[in-house]
Structure 1
Amino acid sequence: MGATFHWFQTALLPAGWARNVRLSVEDGQIASVETRVPTGGSDVRAAIGLPGLPNLHSHAFQRAMAGLTEVRGPEGDSFWTWRELMYRFVGKLSPDDVEAIAALAFAEMLEAGFTRVGEFHYLHHDTDGRPYADIAEMAARIAAAAEATGIGLTLLPVFYAHSGFGGVAPLESQKRFLNDIAGYERLYEAARRAVRGLPDAVVGIAPHSLRAVTEAELAAVTRLDGPIHIHIAEQVKEVDDCLAWSGARPVEWLQDRFYPDRRWCLVHATHMTASERGRLAASGAVAGLCPITEANLGDGVFPAAAYLAEAGVFGVGSDSNVRIDAAEELRLLEYGQRLSERARNVLAPAPGASTGGALYRGALAGGAQALGVSQVGLAVGASADIVTLDAEHPDIAGRVGDEILDAFVFAGGRPIRDVWRAGRQVVADGRHVGRATIVARYRQTLQRLLA
């Protein structure tokens, strides 16, 4: 198959905004980048081109729970009461259900400007807790949904063995998640086989949390290849429980024993001391932030202003998928800081700098690192993951340079027009090309599950 060409009036390149940009794409990758050149007769033309953003943390099946947990219970609601509802819901899901739900979540991610997802995948076994004949049956369904929608996939099979710090026995409601080390190693290898048919898929490792693994288990699973993602310090109760167990806070405990580096993504890391925060920033590990979910669950606010001032690396994810919107994740990240600091444009790096531009570039680089992608952006050798914006959209009209990113993040509309992933068009005029079929299957699935 020969090269295809894309031409933009303006596009965001690694070196900055450029005019009259022409990209050639071969085998799903960007083969050349030219600037200040005229369009060719066969070019795919657009006004504004952006690199697609990575979504570094998702639990796809939870998309089906959106809106189902917003009724106040008899006692104070929290992450922990939400988790009990999630356990009851997850007990019903079949492989077909997971594939249908994931397909909708992935299609919506592409429509929102996310072009790769880190799927933190912990629903492994049948409803009775026994492994399927193929231990990676559920992982294969995630891969099938990625293939159907076209999204890039970093699959993160989760190791989960305990219900509390220090190796506490798991709960009955966690039986679909559980593996021992030998079982997890089989799952990991089977997951690698499951994604072989996908372009540029990555498989990593996801010890669920320090609550769910022992120190020896964590050492064993992190010897496997790939990026390492772990939930940590999301809730105050988690910090208190870790202190009671070990005398150390969760991030502190991990830093003192496992020395996270660029291979690691610490998801949430909401509740840290200044020392923990500084060590995380210096380590090069990624802080995986999920502002919409963190707000929905009442987790707290990550100390982003201080962390970025220390040159910390971050990316964003949609986590529970209660709402899938790349711009809103960035917007809420900044707005949380504004409320905490009682100031504006808190995460802009310097006077005169664009807040939207800083957030977009930071999430692009940090998300790619967390998902095991070495080449990122509209650059030679990178995957052709391209988002185009409608220059006629009211939010974008008249904007130039980083004003476009400020409008994209903060104006609140959805100016995304078309999306290409690995050179394949997956969104046209703001809608996933397979949306009708995906939504029909999802609707049938939910009608049965909620009957």
Structure 2
Amino acid sequence: MTGLANDTLHDTLLWAPQAWVDGRWQAGVALRIDAASGLWAEVRPDVPPPPGTRVLPGPLLPGLVNAHSHAFQRAFAGLAERREGENDDFWSWRDRMYAVALRMSPEALEAVATQLYAELLQGGYTQVCEFHYLHHAPDGRPYPDPLAMSHALMRAAGATGIGLTLLPVLYQRAGFTQPALREDQRRFATDVERLLTWRDSVRAARQPCVNAGVAIHSLRAAPAEAIARLQRALEGDAGPIHLHIAEQTAEVDDCLAATGRRPIEWLLQNVALDARWQLVHATHATADEIDGVARSGAGVVICPSTEANLGDGLTDVPRWLGAGTVLSIGSDSHVGRQWPAELKLLEYGQRLQLRRRNVAAAPQAQQPATAARLYQRMLHGGAPAAGFARWGFEPGARADWLVLDLQAPGLLGVPASHALDALVFATEGLAFVEVGVAGHPVLRDGALPAQAAIAQRFAATMAELWAPA
């Protein structure tokens, strides 16, 4: 761990005037960190500050898992917002994004990912799940170190202090009827055996706060026999398995034409889903598919800012919530990098579609606060998405925390009971004065110690990536 770790090893006991424990605000919370493991050893609400405690300057929240990230796309954020032709959609955006992928070296990826991970910490995420398919050199051949791009991401995580779940991606073809990848997808090529080798190598490195699972890019990008072979190889492995699915209506139509089934329908019929499986987007899902996913125990990762930016559409949030589906949040292409803004957009999309307010609230279940219900579901669902059995303020979970800045616009003067509501729906900009990961503050006064140097390197990298040819 970098940053402030060395001079904070004595800070093993924290106290907050209020903290989010067991799904609600509780007052006077003492939290003891096991310094050897970086896990919470004890969480006690309704106590005065014990002797030797570091008293935190504001309300305390657990950090959220960012359950879906393509770090290299941070270099493209804000640069695809012009339309030169008659039509612009996900597929035309994707073609332009591939051009960015072809320019990215390991050094450039490290600089971009380091900037991104610093921004994610500022935005309240303490763990990021990296859906990583940018593996090979620009000509499509493996680097001398086949994990060169993965190591760039791991160095970026180490430099910022964020936790990282690395998910090497199975990517074998361009579409349901295509036998191989397109030329501009050459850097993505993998097979099941290489995928598992890369996963095992990341695990063997034992970098602090880094773990690994696997991902399948999509049903269109991986043949059914490869998915079945991977599933057999993963029997007995506890790591997460992520998959893009039903993001676009064209994908649904293509899957119907190729298999006779919709994507989620096909998955439910052909794969033994369980809590390891994380279905990313799942935007175009029927009521029966939603209920089937909920029964399976699989999770769904919603990425509101990217789904809005790409024109994907709106998923049926009330149905996912009502079915009891395990849900988490992701920032995907990183046009947004703060989880309060993602939750606001998630709710606002439903309000605009249904012309109602507080759609995600459930007063009939004693959950009248929209922000609280969404935050708690994403907090709970982030754990399996990142491969953790525990998350949040409970013994045995990793000791991560966020301290709210009560002087931030939108939070100033708000009653303590409404702090989470105001954070999500009334606050713009950064609102966390301190962020801790694995028992150590990595961000204080709203920034990392190396923030300026990280930004300078990012700016130089962007200038090189986007220099005129």
The answer to which of 112-121 and 39-48 deviates more is 39-48
Distance apart, 1:187 and its partner CA:
2.2
Is 1:340 matched up with 2:353? yes
SS at match of 1:101: helix
Match in the other structure for 1:425: 441
What CA distance in whole angstroms lies between the structure 2 residues aligned with 1:64 and 1:98? 9
Match in the other structure for 2:72: 61
Q: 1:93-242 maps to which residues of 2 (within 5 A)?
A: 93-166=104-177, 168-194=179-205, 196-199=206-209, 201-222=210-231, 223-224=233-234, 225=237, 226-242=239-255
What CA distance in whole angstroms lies between the structure 1 residues aligned with 2:417 and 2:454? 35
Residue type at the aligned position of 2:22: P
Indicate if the aligned counterparts of 2:433 and 2:446 stay in contact, CA closer than 8 A.
yes
1:351-398: per-residue Cα shift (whole Å, max 9, x none)?
561000001101100111211111111111111110001223342234
Match in the other structure for 1:359: 374
What CA distance in whole angstroms lies between the structure 2 residues aligned with 1:38 and 1:274? 49
Match in the other structure for 2:3: none
The answer to which of 322-331 and 25-34 deviates more is 25-34
Indicate if the aligned counterparts of 2:120 and 2:338 stay in contact, CA closer than 8 A.
yes
Residue type at the aligned position of 2:73: Q
Distance apart, 1:332 and its partner CA:
0.7
Q: 1:266-277 maps to which residues of 2 (within 5 A)?
A: 266-277=279-290
Residue type at the aligned position of 1:342: R
Residue type at the aligned position of 2:382: G
Cα distance change on mapping 1:125 and 1:402 into 2, 3 Å: farther
Q: 1:393-412 maps to which residues of 2 (within 5 A)?
A: 393-400=408-415, 402-412=417-427
Distance apart, 1:42 and its partner CA:
4.6
From 16, 29, 37, the counterpart of 2:24:
16
Residue type at the aligned position of 2:168: P
SS at match of 1:46: coil
What CA distance in whole angstroms lies between the structure 2 residues aligned with 1:229 and 1:86? 21
Match in the other structure for 1:87: 98
Indicate if the aligned counterparts of 2:23 and 2:376 stay in contact, CA closer than 8 A.
no
Distance apart, 1:34 and its partner CA:
2.2
Indicate if the aligned counterparts of 1:108 and 1:432 stay in contact, CA closer than 8 A.
no
Distance apart, 1:214 and its partner CA:
0.7
Residue type at the aligned position of 2:347: E
What CA distance in whole angstroms lies between the structure 1 residues aligned with 2:199 and 2:155? 17
From 444, 449, 453, the counterpart of 1:437:
453
What CA distance in whole angstroms lies between the structure 2 residues aligned with 1:10 and 1:42? 15
Distance apart, 1:349 and its partner CA:
1.8
Give ranges in structure 1 of 5+ residues lacking alignment.
none
What CA distance in whole angstroms lies between the structure 1 residues aligned with 2:416 and 2:289? 36
The answer to which of 220-229 and 134-143 deviates more is 220-229
Match in the other structure for 1:282: 295
Indicate if the aligned counterparts of 1:124 and 1:136 stay in contact, CA closer than 8 A.
yes
Indicate if the aligned counterparts of 1:207 and 1:221 stay in contact, CA closer than 8 A.
no
Query: What TM-score does the superposition give when structure 2 sets the normalisation length?
Result: 0.93
Residue type at the aligned position of 1:255: L
Residue type at the aligned position of 1:29: L
Residue type at the aligned position of 1:363: M
Match in the other structure for 1:370: 385
SS at match of 2:56: strand
What CA distance in whole angstroms lies between the structure 1 residues aligned with 2:317 and 2:259? 27
Is 1:255 matched up with 2:268? yes
Consecutive aligned runs of 4 or more in structure 1 exceeding 3 Å deviation = 397-402
Residue type at the aligned position of 2:138: T
Residue type at the aligned position of 1:434: A
Query: What TM-score does the superposition give when structure 1 sets the normalisation length?
Result: 0.96
Indicate if the aligned counterparts of 1:383 and 1:421 stay in contact, CA closer than 8 A.
yes
Residue type at the aligned position of 1:266: L
Residue type at the aligned position of 1:361: Q
Indicate if the aligned counterparts of 1:2 and 1:26 stay in contact, CA closer than 8 A.
no
Match in the other structure for 1:35: 45
Is 1:309 matched up with 2:319? no
Indicate if the aligned counterparts of 2:166 and 2:211 stay in contact, CA closer than 8 A.
yes
Is 1:385 matched up with 2:384? no
Indicate if the aligned counterparts of 2:409 and 2:427 stay in contact, CA closer than 8 A.
no
What CA distance in whole angstroms lies between the structure 1 residues aligned with 2:397 and 2:417? 22
Match in the other structure for 1:329: 342
Residue type at the aligned position of 1:206: A
Distance apart, 1:179 and its partner CA:
1.5
Cα distance change on mapping 1:15 and 1:271 into 2, 3 Å: closer
Cα distance change on mapping 1:38 and 1:259 into 2, 3 Å: same
Distance apart, 1:400 and its partner CA:
4.2
What CA distance in whole angstroms lies between the structure 2 residues aligned with 1:227 and 1:400? 39
What CA distance in whole angstroms lies between the structure 2 residues aligned with 1:425 and 1:410? 26
**Identity %, equivalent residues:** 46
Match in the other structure for 2:363: 350
What CA distance in whole angstroms lies between the structure 1 residues aligned with 2:100 and 2:290? 35
How many residues in Structure 1 have an aligned counterpart in Structure 2?
A: 449
Distance apart, 1:2 and its partner CA:
5.4
Indicate if the aligned counterparts of 2:56 and 2:403 stay in contact, CA closer than 8 A.
no
Indicate if the aligned counterparts of 2:114 and 2:159 stay in contact, CA closer than 8 A.
yes
What CA distance in whole angstroms lies between the structure 2 residues aligned with 1:419 and 1:347? 27
SS at match of 1:231: strand
What CA distance in whole angstroms lies between the structure 1 residues aligned with 2:179 and 2:101? 22
SS at match of 2:18: strand
Residue type at the aligned position of 2:348: Y
Indicate if the aligned counterparts of 1:167 and 1:214 stay in contact, CA closer than 8 A.
no
Cα distance change on mapping 1:15 and 1:327 into 2, 3 Å: closer
1:304-332: per-residue Cα shift (whole Å, max 9, x none)?
11121111221100000112111011111
